[in-house]
Amino acid sequence: MSSEQTIGQDSTQNGNKPDWAAWLDTHGPGLMLYARSQTRSEEDAEDVLQTALVELVQVVESGKFRGTPEQWRAYALRCIRHDAQDLGTRYTNRRHLENRMAEQSNNIVEERPWLTHPDDAKQNSAAVERALLQLREDYMEIVILHIWHELTFREIAHITNAPLQTVATRYRAAMRDFRKLLENEHFND
């Protein structure tokens, strides 16, 4: 039995508490990656992720939301996106300043890399990270959700409130741009 199946048993129906630690071990790195992509700040990403996880635990344990851990993950992703948008609205001036600073320097790399999951491209993570940071925000979001979270375009459309065809078109354009950026990275080394 895989760890997902073990975690996936709807233990709330049996009166048992879900194994949140195991669920978080499985989904935490991907959720953090998505939170980082939505906020562009380690501290904000941690805050947004924590808020989403607290909300998820509350709705699951209250019995208001019953479903599989995969559905929990989609719920957490939606919470992250919503909370990040709210945070972005409150900190618009700060984001404008960060964008101006990023334009002045082509070599800004966060101290803590985004790609921290052991299966992510270990040797090329810095190049992949730089290429991701250069994508348009809507492209980057779709790439992360599709590749790292293995969500379908339909699921991404639901999370982002975008038409399915728009998601597919943006993904194709993002991959074209991503390939070009990675090729430039390779030739500039």
Could you give phi then psi for residue 103, rounded to 5 degrees? -65, -30
Q: Six-digit token pair at 90?
A: 């409150």
Q: Look at residue 114 in the predicted model and tell me its pLDDT.
A: 55
Mean pLDDT score of the chain, rounded to an integer? 78
Q: Look at residue 3 in the predicted model and tell me its pLDDT.
A: 40
- pLDDT band at 40, cuts 50/70/90? confident
Q: Is 111's pLDDT higher than 80?
A: no
Rounded to an integer, what is the distance from CA 127 to the centroid of its chain? 18
Residue range 144-166: mean pLDDT, rounded = 91
Q: Six-digit token pair at 96?
A: 């404008």
Start-to-end CA distance of the chain, whole Å, equals 44
Q: Look at residue 8 in the predicted model and tell me its pLDDT.
A: 40
Could you give phi then psi for residue 84, rounded to 5 degrees? -65, -40
Q: Look at residue 105 in the predicted model and tell me its pLDDT.
A: 46
Q: What is the rounded distance in angstroms from the CA atom of residue 146 to the CA atom of residue 142?
A: 6
Q: What is the rounded distance in angstroms from the CA atom of residue 174 to the CA atom of residue 5?
A: 33
* pLDDT, tens digit, 9 for 90 and up, residues 54-108: 999 999 988 888 788 778 999 999 999 998 888 777 766 455 555 555 565 444 4
Q: Look at residue 118 in the predicted model and tell me its pLDDT.
A: 52
Q: What is the rounded distance in angstroms from the CA atom of residue 86 to the CA atom of residue 89?
A: 5
Please report, as a single letter, which amino acid is at residue 24: L
Q: Look at residue 188 in the predicted model and tell me its pLDDT.
A: 55
